[in-house]
Structures are given as C-alpha cells and as structure tokens.
Structure 1
Amino acid sequence: MSRGSMTVRVARWSATHAWRAIGLWLMLVIVAVGLMIAIPTQKTKAQDTWIGQSGTASELIRDAGLEGKPSETVLLTDSDGPLDKAAATTAFAQLRQKVTAIDAVEAVGQPVWAANGKAALLPISLKGNADDAADNVDKLLAATSEVQKANPSLTIEQAGSASVDKGIWKQVGADLARAEKISLPLTFGLMLLAFGALIAAGIPVLLAFSAIGAALGFYAPLSYLFPDGGSVANVVLLIGMAVGVDYSLFYLKREREERQRGHSTVDAVEIAAATSGHSVVVSGLAVIVSMAGLYVAQDPVFSSMATATIVVVAVAVLGSLTVLPALLVKLGHRVDRPRVPLLWRLNRRIGPAGISRRILAPVLRFPKVALLISAVAVVALAVPALGMKTEPGGLSTLPRSIPEVRTMTALQQNFPSQGMAYDIVAKGNGVTTGLAKLQQAAVASKAFVVTPGSEIRRAGDTAVLTLVSVRPDTSQDARAALEQLRNGLAPQALGSVQWAVGGETAQQVDYGQHQRDQLPYVIAFVLILTLLMMAFTFRSLAIALVTTLLNLASVAACFGVLSLVFQHTWAEGLLDFTSPGFVVSWIPVFLFVILVGLSMDYHVFVLGRIREGVRAGLTPQEAVRKGITESAGVVTSAAAVMVSVFAVFASLGMIEMKQMGVGLAVAVLIDATLVRIVMLPSIMVLLGRKAWWPNKLHKAQPVPADDRELVTV
C-alpha cells in the first residue's frame, strides 16, 4: 500500500490539519446527538411483524374492523391464604371508582372469582389501539398502586400487554444502564493493562463512546425506514464498544510500535495508516457485509439491528482513520503519559507476545499434531449444537424480576382462561355456524376454554372466535396447541371457507419458524460475500477458504456452548436465570452474522502481518512466527475487551441478552486463542506458499527511503 493510498492520504490530512480534524469530529458527534434529541426514534408496530398464517389472520381481522380492544387486568390475591371476599369487594369498588375517572378507560367489567378461591380479577377495557394503551397504561398502574396502599392486607397487581411491555422496556433500560456503568471502567482498566499509560488507555474508550453516541443519533432518522424492534440501543452499545476500542487499538498499537523503532510521530502515523488503518477498513467492511445478511431474513427487528450496527461500525472506522491520527500527532510522545509505574514496567518486562510466543513454538514444530488436537477440541465444543433447540421468546423467557411478568404468571395459574389465546378468523358463507361448531369441539377436547363473556364477533362475511389453551405458557405447548387447531379442529369444523388461526401466541410461533426458515439463506449470503471479500483483499482463494472454515469453526463451537448452557439447568445459579430449555430463535441468526464479521478483525490483522513477512523474503514458517508474535499483543488486548464487554451482557436480566453475551464472549475467546494461536498458524505452515495461491507474493524490492512503499494487506 503506497503513500498515496486512501488511508494514508486521510491520515496525512488529519495529521497536518489536526485541530480541524478534531473539530469536525466533535461537530459530527454534536450534530448526531442533536438529531437524536430532535427526531424521536420510531418503534416497530404490531403489523410490522405479521407473518405466515397468523399475519393473514391479523390482516383479515383488521380489514373487517374486528380488532379486540386493548385491555388490562387487575389481580387480587391474599398471601396469607384464601382470598377474603369482603376485603376484595371493597378494593374492587375503590379500583372501579379510580379507573372509571381515567379518560383512556372505555369500560370496567365485573369481578371474576377464581374457582380455587385464592384470587379474583377485574378486567379493564381501554380505548383506541395498542399504541394508545401503551401511552396511557401509566395512569392505570398509578391507580392500582394507590389502591394497593389503601389495602395492605391484599396483594393488588396489574398485568396486560401494555403493562408487561412497559415492564420489559424498564428492564431493558436498567440493563443498558448497568452495562454502561460496568463496561466503561472495565474497558478502561483493560486498556491500562495494554498500554500502562492513562492517555493511551483513555483514547480508545473515548472514541468508542463518541462513536456509540453518534451512531444512535444517526439511527434516529433512519428508524423511519427501519423502526427499532427493541434491541437497537443494546446492540449499538455491545458492538460499538467492541469494534470502537478494537479499531483504535489496532491503529494506536502500530503507531506506538513504529515510534519505538525510531520513526517520527508523523511517519509513525502514516505507517499505521497504511497497515493497521487498511486492516481497519477491511475489517469494518467485513462486519458491514456480514450484518447486511440480516436484511435477507426479511424481518423488521433484524433490519433495525443491521442498520444500527452498520452505522456504528462505519462511524468507528471513520473515527479511527480521521480524529485518531490527529490526536496522536498533537499528543506525540505525551500519549504515553502519565505512566502507571507498575503496569508500565510489567508491559516492558513481558514484552510483545510473551505468552503467545511460548504457545506458538510447539505449534510451529508440530503443525499436524497441533491442528489435529485443536480440531478435536472445536468439534467437541460444537457437537452439542446438533441438538440445539430454538423457540421464540415468551412469558417463560422473561425475567421474574419484572413485577408484571410475575403477575401475568400468577394470573394464568389462577385463571386458565387468561392463558395463551388464539384467534380463529373465518371469511365466507356460514362462518358463524362453523366457528360455533369449532368452539364446541375445542371445549369438548378439554384442551381449550372460552374466556367468560367472550362470544363470536362478526362483521359482514367475517367472524372471529377466541380460544384459550389450558396448557402452560411455554413455546413447546404453544406450538402443540397451534398445531392441534390448524391441523385438526379448524379444518374439520370450517371446511372449505377461508380461515386462519392467529393471535399473539400464534404470531410468536410463526415468527420463530420464519427465522429458522430464513437462516440457510442468511448463512449462504454472508459466507459467499465474505469469501469473495477475503479473496479480493488477499488475492488468494486459499486464504479465503481457510478464513471461512475457521469462522464456521468458531460459530459452531459458540452454538455448542449455547446449547450446553441454556438448554440445561447446571448454569442457572452461575448466570442467575431460569433455563427455558431452548435458545431464543433470533439469537443464532444474529450471532452468526456478527461473529463472522468480528472474527474477520483478527484474521485480517494477523494475515496482514504474515503477508508482510512473506513479502519481506521470510520463509512461510518464519513469516507465521513473526506475524503471530507481532500481532499477539494487540489481538489479545482487543479480544480481552470484546470478551469482557460481552460478558457484561451475560450478567443482565433479559435472557436474550444473556444468550447473546455468552455466545459472543465464548466465540471471541475461542477465535482469539485456539483458532488464532493454534489452528491458523498450523494451517499456514502446512500450506506454505500455497496459502497465497494464486498470488505468488513476490518479494518486495527495496526503494529509496523518501519514495518507499509501505507494505500492508
């Protein structure tokens, strides 16, 4: 890569116009934050996730104007024993008085007493649609809280779609705040270990957080095209911290290394731009290409994740190529100040790749044995993935720390008619008779019940029947009940008229199945594009194939560990969760695309160093030794940051975040150790110069110092 390359030109401009570059970066961040404040981020709506037969049912119901009104339920129980009906009646009267005064309430039903005598409920119907209910549920919760204070002998709780969603968002917000609080000092501490100096440690963390803030701001207007499915903030923080710190780390380490070799600060910055800067661009493009695979899934939640991740990666790459060189030139040697004496001396004493060099030596001496042992280890970790079960998230996967989740669980336990509901919609002649026949057969099967007061709703030639399953609210039971309706009861009762089984529970099942169906297309898209990208970058088909195989090895091991941890109970106490017996259906798709992208960071960086050695005339074995040892320090530090940030997410309350955190942390750990230090070097040694086929990689010819070329990937 010559001095005229794009990364060098950008670095040179930033170095010679340092204050301008810094000012433009600050302006970029300020404008982005202003966009976030001025433009509200759009959320996905219910119809955005309609899919399959449940989507057809929802569409038929909407077109006929038969949507059910949003509702909330207040549950009364007595922890000391059977419910005191007199006390409950008084509380219900107080509730009715307070709730009817709220404009958003359309009607308050009559109290319903549980058959077991331990609970009672009060149904509340709300005006408008689900979005209106979400806006007004706070008023209902406040009224319920006031009545609870007035009746301390009773337990008075509220649950419903709007209140449960509010509880989930509150938990997500708390998780996000906790992740920010832990990840910042943890990442800074790891940077101190890597550099031994406060300023050098602070620069990557500062740039990563500024990239996260800017990305969230730029996503706000984009959310009108790709609405937030609920995970954008978490994903931006998760990926932004990982790549933001890594890209700055790659660049800063190389600049520091070149200064130690005697280059001036400007020359060191240009060399870092031509080498590590180019690797950062390739790595960033790899992550972007991989994340684009989520668009193939044709899912609004995945599309929002892909868009937000692409934005934060692009901003992180831009920051490392522009404002980072400007900061390094302005700081000069002061970037290594103030030093932390103990850490500084420890870094000097260990030296670069102190541990990796010791592990690498036997690998290079016995590459076949090393490859065989490491392959057996990866296969052993990956085998459990063959039995991995995926199901959509639901009540059973939500943390019990959310009060509304506990209330909903208690509500379903005391009132079976409040369980998993299914809407059977039929359109045509005689549909009311057919639905009545279906209701009779469903109740007679003892697998379904009808909510008290519920009746067949009809408008024109369309009618809707709501049935509730008596099964527990789990994914497996939801799928079994849905299959019973779709494959048995409904076709027998409704015959040839147009019909569909929908409802919230059916939507979750169809959504999970859609994700499983789309996974092969996502995998094919990502693998083909990344393979072509690596082949183009290194001009080597062998390197592209090796990288693809190693990426798949890391992903397979990650999936195996996920199955071991979350489909069994042995890790519940360790990670503070209740095992649902499956992996949430969207997790494997997301993990696959992000892991392929992130693992390219290390491969591009390490292979670039190896290629430099080959072009310098070293033997393949010496080039591998030099490339691995010279890149070991920065890759180890980068991996430590990623693993620590991902591990923070494994400690959060939402099980989806736990599964994402565990999967990413395990995969990066395996990729940065077993794959990078054992499998990759052993394969490269065994292939020799054939690894670069069809590129012959001729030895670089020396040229005058003032006109030399800088070697990079």
Structure 2
Amino acid sequence: MLARLGRAAARGRYVVCAIWTVLALAGAVLGGSVYDRTESPDQLRPDAPSTLAQARLDALDPEGETVVAVIGGRDFHATALVDSATRIMFEIRAIPGVAKVTDAYTAGSGMIGPERQNSLAVIELQPQLSEDEAQAVAERVAAALHRIDSPEIVVGGKLLAERDFNDQAVADAAFGESVALAVLCAALIVMLGGLAAGLLPLGAALAVVAGTLLALTGLAGTMPVSEYTVNVVTLLGLGLAVDYSLLIVARFREERAADPGAPVDELVARTVATAGRAVLVSGLAVGIALSGLFVFAEPLLAAMALGGALVVALATAAGLTLVPALVAIAHRRIPAPGTRTWVWRRAARREPGFLARSARYAQRRPAVVALAVSAGLLVLALPLPHANLADSDARSLPASSEARQAYEVAQRDFGGKYPQPVPVLIEAPATDPSTVALLERMRAVPGVTDVDVREGVPPQATVAEVELPGGASGPQAQQLVRDLRALDPSLLVTGPAAELVDAKDATAARLPVALAVVVLATGLLLFLLTGSLVVPVKALLMNLLTLAATLGVLVAVFQWGWGADLLGFTPWGALDLTTPLLLFVFIFGLSMDYEVFLLARIREEWRRDGDNDRAVLAGITATGPVVTAAAVSIGIVFLGFALGDLIAVKEIGVGMAVAVLLDVTVVRGLLLPALMSLLGRANWWPTRPPAAPPAAAAPAPAPAPAPRSSDLPGKRAKARSRFAQVPGKSNDQRVG
C-alpha cells in the first residue's frame, strides 16, 4: 500500500504539491488570526474542588480583578508625593469599571513598607466586566498610577501579568521561530549538500506549520487555546516535518545508488515502502504519546493534546505525500552523500558516522558501556526527587517585566505584614453554633495566625479568611489547605494554594493512567514493527531513563539556578507544573521517533541472516546519519524556545534540547547497541531468526595453474625472476 502511495505521489507530483501549496497559503493568510482568538484557559478541570468552591463563592460574593501597585522611591510623607498620590487615587475612583481603591493616602489602609519608603495600593475592578473590558480598565488604571510623582512605581496584578505573558509569548514565538528557521535552513543546506536539497525539508516543514496554524484557528473556535499552545505545537510540527523529510531523502539516496537506472517513480515507491513505514509508525507513536495529555482532562492540556494530534497528522501526511512529490521533482538536485558540490568543496571520504563508531565501541564492551551509561543517566536524575512544582505566576515572566517586579516587591515588603488569606466557604450562617465551633477549630490549625469573617456575604453562608505567614501558594499554604479539608469535608477551600493542591492531586491520580495509555500503545506499535516483546520493553525503559535525566537537569537549572546567568533568566525556585507532563509526552514521542528509525532498519538487516550484532551495527550505520541530522535539526528548533524570555517556555526548550542530546548520543549511540549485544537473539523473542540462505552448489575444482614467479613470496621469487632471464638454459636448469 505504501509503495502504491509513493508511486502515486511521484507520478502526480505537481498535483500533490499544488494541494499542499493551497493549504499552506490558506494557513499563511487565515492561520495568523489564531493569535487574535487565543485566550487563557483554566488550569483545572471544572469539577476540581477549588474550582467548585470558587464558583460558589463568586455566586455569593463576586469579586473583580485587582490591580496592585507599589509606590516608592521617596519618603511616604513627602509633600509632593502625598499631593500627587491623593489626586490620582481620586481620579482612579472615578474611572468607570473601578469598584474599590485601597491605599495608604486616601483610604487609610496603613499598607506602608519598611522605613516608610513605599506603600501598597490595591484597586479592585467591578466583577461584571468581561475579560476585554476588565483589561481595558486595568490599563487605564495603570496609566493613571504611573502619573504619580514618585521615582519608583511598579504596577501588576493577575490580569496585567496574563497580558504580559500573552504578549511575551507572541514576541518569543516570532523571534525564536525566525532564528530557528534561519539556522535550520543553513544547517540543512550544509547537511544535504545543496540549496534545493536543503530547502526541500524546510518547504515541507513550512507547509506543515501553516496547516497547523489553520487547524488551530478552527480549534480555537470550539475550545480555549492559549498562545503557549500555539508556540509549542507549531515548533513541534516544524521539528517532526524536518525529521520525516530527512528520513525519506536519505532512503531515496540509498535506493538510487543501488539502482541508478531505475525510473524516479519506482525509486520513490521503494523509498516510501521502506522509510514510509517508519514515518507512519513514528507518527502514530508520537500521536499516541500526545494523546496521553487527554487523560489529565484539563483545558490547557486538552488543547495541547488536540493541537499536537493535528500537527502530528499533518507532519505524517506530508512525509508520505508532499516529501516524495518534492523528491520526484528535485531528484536531480539531490546529491549523493560524499559527492563534490558547491557546499561540499571536496568529496568526503565514506567513513562511519558518529553513531556507527559509538555502536562499534559499545558492542566491543557491552556490559561496561551499559552500566556506565545507565549510571550516568541516573546521576543526572538525582535532583528530580527534590523538584518543586508550582503554577507559573508573575515570577515566570522575565525579570524586566513590570508585573513580575510588582509581584516580587509586594511579596518582599508586604507579604509578611499583609499575608494573602486562604478563603474558606462554610454553607451555614456565621451565628450558627456549628460555624462558631468550626471557626475556633480553624484558628487552632498549626501555623494559622488569624481567621476573619468576610463582611457583605449573604447570611445563609460564611466566608472565612484564614491567614498564615508565607506566600499565597507556598508549601505552608498548601499544607494549610490539606489541614482545613481534613478538618471538615464540608469546607469549601479555594485560592491559589488550593488550586495548586488540586492540580498536584489530579496529576498524581491520573499519571499512572496516562503512563499506561502511552506505554501500552507505543509498546504495541513497536511489537507490530519488530515482532519482538523484548525490544519494546527495552525501548520504553531507555525512554524513561532519558526523561528522568532530563527532568533532573531542569531541576538543577531552573529551580536551583545552575547556569541561570548563561541562559539569561532569574530562577523563581520551582518548575511549572505542566513542564514535566509536556516533556513526558514530547520526549517519549521523539525518543520513539528515533527508536523507530533505527529499529526499522535493524530489523530489516536482521531478517537477512539472523545475525544480531551485524544487524545492529549495519542498521545504525545506515540510519545513524539520518538520526544525527534529525537530532541536530530538531535541537535547533527547540533551542528557539530557549531564546525566549518566558521561563515556562524556556524550560520546554532547554529540556527538549537536553533530551535530544542525551538520546542521540549516549542512549541511541551507546546504550541501545550495548543492550542489544548483551541480549543477542533474545532481542527478537518470540520471533524466530530467519532461515539461513541456501548454500549455492559448489563448482567442480579446476586444475591448479602452474605457479608463476610473481606468486612466490619473498627473496626466492626475486631470485627466480633473475634466473629466468639467463639465456640458453631450461627451466629446470635455471631453478636448479
């Protein structure tokens, strides 16, 4: 079937390219509007306890968004500052959409910082405002606050932080993708040896990205899609499309070298019949890994899973149709490896590549290499148990962001004096004896400093604000949420700490199911590809080792701050809660990508004669350059993430770059051949090794020719040659 598909793509090459061109143009024209339709989806599923509690609280006592400002840089009582701040605060009260202003100048809040050098102002917006209306009011408030006569004014709050996050995501995407495309274009031209050959994978990748943007635009009409989702999905599509293109081009070169006189459509058919199978299985494996995000049932991850499934489908379709069509058009411009071109100034010597040399070394010392590599990966994973996972807040913004500065100054100078309380809803009047007793029990919870009853709540319910030292979602606040819920199951606890607790609990509860879905499905695919039960288990264990080592490196870098100055960010002491989940599916998917590339060729070699070690080395030698080129390409793509300023996006970029580096060098180059050499024929259990090819009938022995002088070794041959030149003597006399 795949051979017929490849032959049809080659014969109808111009029709196939025309269809993809229309799709790419539609994506370029219409897909760009996806950024206008993005929004910030909820981090939790609708039935999470904190989500239900917040919905009930909003129904009883709705509160609007808040704008937070720290006014400082001069003495609080400076006359010019007092006059200016007082006037501006009254102006802000008159802005339509502002519900309440709490400040130290006009409301007597007493929120004055250390040494009376700054003060805190909190402006609450009306709760009935839509998201766009609230954003517009918040910007007017921020502009007014900046007119206060004070040298240091920083304005933030959740609403403004989300705006900065979205704006930064778009800017990072534009910059990162531009740099990645430029570097990737140069790398592909060098690796493939010519402009046409290098632009072929890039053209397929751009068509996939444009089609993905078009698909995401349609998806944004049915469910919330964030800018973060668009960034991740488009770069994933770019990397996969390049990977599949390189595999098809490399196999086409082999088929052409093996049969130079064959028609191009026949060569393309053979290419798709072999490499196309690896592309199809790889696409299914990556798609299945991404589907694991559906298990978590959270809006953000659901959008990521759907978008990822769309881009994988497009990349696989392009690898099976568009790339073969482009190869059929430009086959004369695709040089054979090692030939001299304007890029390759001299013909390269056909020496084994990096992976082939690594594999040969690993096969000579399989036990030592397997133990050393496994131990090294486990050492890199040592920081993982110390990971602190949290929801990204304003601290995930770049250090230059005003919203982040406002958050950090407010926490530093006012967090201890005015801690953010944990809201608790009790479905009973405040005067009810059971409520009074419950409030007293809440005051007795370890760490609690005060419990206040909020005013203005309908009499049938009570809202208690539980205070304790520390951040609004720090470890102490998270433990308080657990203690309050254990105190009485009827308590409805919400707030940032409760949301984080619910997110962690949901992840811990659903992670085994997601692992089972991904592991079983990808294991089944590998079994269908190889016919072995051992190979899939080994591949899954190697992928888990790569994932653990990568996450350990991320904890050291982004949580502990190792190398933060080199990467240009300020750590905030945690990893984003979604980072391990996203890296799990991306690393698992891409590792399976390279595993399929190699195993498909190794199995092809093994089926020839059943020689395991020869098949492993031959398969890695043949496919190693493709895997190396694909790893370099996708590493360039994901390093575009690392160039951005959003820490959550930078985590994904650095994590993927580390994972690809580890996977292609030590895992595929050393651990894979070492383990396959150790297991020998057991690799392919329960498949039986192929029967040895029948021996050809031995020809009848021919009479041995008379020895010649040139056949004799050493000095004797030279002496006989001299004697043969003596005239007038028979051969016997000469030898004698």
Structure with larger Rg: 2
Q: How does 1:516-595 map to 2 (within 5 A)?
A: 516-595=508-587
Query: Contact 1:69–1:125 (CA<8 Å) still a contact in 2?
Result: yes
SS of the residue corresponding to residue 310 of structure 2 reads: helix
Alignment counterpart, residue 90 of structure 1, candidates 84, 87, 95: 84
Query: Contact 2:340–2:348 (CA<8 Å) still a contact in 1?
Result: no
Closer, same or farther in 2 for the Cα pair 1:369/1:302, shift >3 Å?
Answer: same
Aligned to 2:723: none
Aligned to 2:16: 21
The amino acid that maps onto 1:88 is V
Quick check: 1:208 aligned with 2:205?
A: yes
Matches of 1:52 and 1:485 in 2, distance apart? Answer: 16
Alignment counterpart, residue 111 of structure 2, candidates 101, 111, 114: 114
Quick check: 1:232 aligned with 2:229?
A: yes
How much has 1:578 moved relative to structure 2?
A: 3.2
The amino acid that maps onto 1:610 is I
Matches of 2:573 and 2:592 in 1, distance apart? Answer: 32
Q: How does 1:18-417 map to 2 (within 5 A)?
A: 18-33=13-28, 36=31, 41=37, 43-46=39-42, 49-50=45-46, 52-62=48-58, 64-77=59-72, 79-82=73-76, 84-97=78-91, 99-100=92-93, 102-109=95-102, 110-111=106-107, 112-116=109-113, 117-129=116-128, 132-142=130-140, 144-145=142-143, 148=146, 150-151=147-148, 153-261=150-258, 262=260, 263-336=262-335, 341=341, 343-345=343-345, 348-351=347-350, 353-416=352-415
Query: Contact 1:41–1:221 (CA<8 Å) still a contact in 2?
Result: no
The amino acid that maps onto 1:504 is P
- List alignment gaps of at least 5 residues for structure 1: 703-713
Aligned to 1:707: none
Query: Contact 2:605–2:619 (CA<8 Å) still a contact in 1?
Result: yes
Closer, same or farther in 2 for the Cα pair 1:473/1:397, shift >3 Å?
Answer: farther
Tell me whether 227-236 or 430-439 shows the greater mean CA deviation.
430-439
How much has 1:251 moved relative to structure 2?
A: 0.8
SS of the residue corresponding to residue 424 of structure 2 reads: strand
How much has 1:353 moved relative to structure 2?
A: 3.6
SS of the residue corresponding to residue 351 of structure 1 reads: coil
Tell me whether 182-191 or 33-42 shows the greater mean CA deviation.
33-42
- List alignment gaps of at least 5 residues for structure 2: 695-736
Aligned to 1:507: 499
How much has 1:415 moved relative to structure 2?
A: 3.3
Matches of 1:60 and 1:218 in 2, distance apart? Answer: 36
Matches of 1:210 and 1:419 in 2, distance apart? Answer: 51
The amino acid that maps onto 2:98 is V
Query: Contact 1:353–1:630 (CA<8 Å) still a contact in 2?
Result: no
SS of the residue corresponding to residue 348 of structure 2 reads: helix
Give the count of matched residue pairs: 681
Matches of 1:629 and 1:185 in 2, distance apart? Answer: 29
Aligned to 1:686: 678
The amino acid that maps onto 1:427 is E
Matches of 1:539 and 1:236 in 2, distance apart? Answer: 32
Aligned CA-pair RMSD = 3.1
Matches of 2:112 and 2:606 in 1, distance apart? Answer: 79
Closer, same or farther in 2 for the Cα pair 1:382/1:91, shift >3 Å?
Answer: closer
- Over the matched positions of the two proteins, sequence identity in percent amounts to 28
How much has 1:82 moved relative to structure 2?
A: 4.5
Closer, same or farther in 2 for the Cα pair 1:481/1:355, shift >3 Å?
Answer: same
How much has 1:24 moved relative to structure 2?
A: 0.8
Matches of 1:684 and 1:138 in 2, distance apart? Answer: 62
How much has 1:317 moved relative to structure 2?
A: 0.9
Query: Contact 1:431–1:461 (CA<8 Å) still a contact in 2?
Result: no
How much has 1:446 moved relative to structure 2?
A: 8.1
How much has 1:366 moved relative to structure 2?
A: 2.8
Query: Contact 1:435–1:465 (CA<8 Å) still a contact in 2?
Result: no
After superposition, the C-alpha distances for 1:252-310 in whole angstroms (9 at most, x for unaligned) are 12112322332443232122211111111100000001111111112221111111111
Tell me whether 348-357 or 153-162 shows the greater mean CA deviation.
348-357
After superposition, the C-alpha distances for 1:386-434 in whole angstroms (9 at most, x for unaligned) are 4434333334444322211211222333434664342111103546777
SS of the residue corresponding to residue 322 of structure 1 reads: helix
Matches of 2:414 and 2:340 in 1, distance apart? Answer: 63
Matches of 1:332 and 1:46 in 2, distance apart? Answer: 49
Q: How does 1:438-449 map to 2 (within 5 A)?
A: 447-448=448-449
Matches of 1:281 and 1:466 in 2, distance apart? Answer: 56
Query: Contact 1:75–1:411 (CA<8 Å) still a contact in 2?
Result: yes
The amino acid that maps onto 1:592 is F
Query: Contact 1:395–1:474 (CA<8 Å) still a contact in 2?
Result: no
Aligned to 1:623: 615
Aligned to 1:428: 428
Matches of 2:226 and 2:512 in 1, distance apart? Answer: 22
SS of the residue corresponding to residue 124 of structure 1 reads: strand
Alignment counterpart, residue 10 of structure 1, candidates 5, 13, 17: 5
Query: Contact 2:74–2:118 (CA<8 Å) still a contact in 1?
Result: no
Matches of 1:204 and 1:161 in 2, distance apart? Answer: 42
Closer, same or farther in 2 for the Cα pair 1:340/1:403, shift >3 Å?
Answer: farther
Matches of 1:656 and 1:559 in 2, distance apart? Answer: 14
SS of the residue corresponding to residue 381 of structure 2 reads: helix
After superposition, the C-alpha distances for 1:82-117 in whole angstroms (9 at most, x for unaligned) are 4525423323413532x3554333454544443342
After superposition, the C-alpha distances for 1:162-218 in whole angstroms (9 at most, x for unaligned) are 112111212222222221122111211221231121121122122212212211221
Query: Contact 1:209–1:241 (CA<8 Å) still a contact in 2?
Result: yes
Matches of 1:351 and 1:145 in 2, distance apart? Answer: 66
Tell me whether 635-644 or 390-399 shows the greater mean CA deviation.
390-399
The amino acid that maps onto 1:270 is A
Closer, same or farther in 2 for the Cα pair 1:270/1:513, shift >3 Å?
Answer: same
SS of the residue corresponding to residue 255 of structure 1 reads: helix
Matches of 1:314 and 1:699 in 2, distance apart? Answer: 38
Aligned to 1:638: 630
How much has 1:630 moved relative to structure 2?
A: 0.7
The amino acid that maps onto 1:305 is M
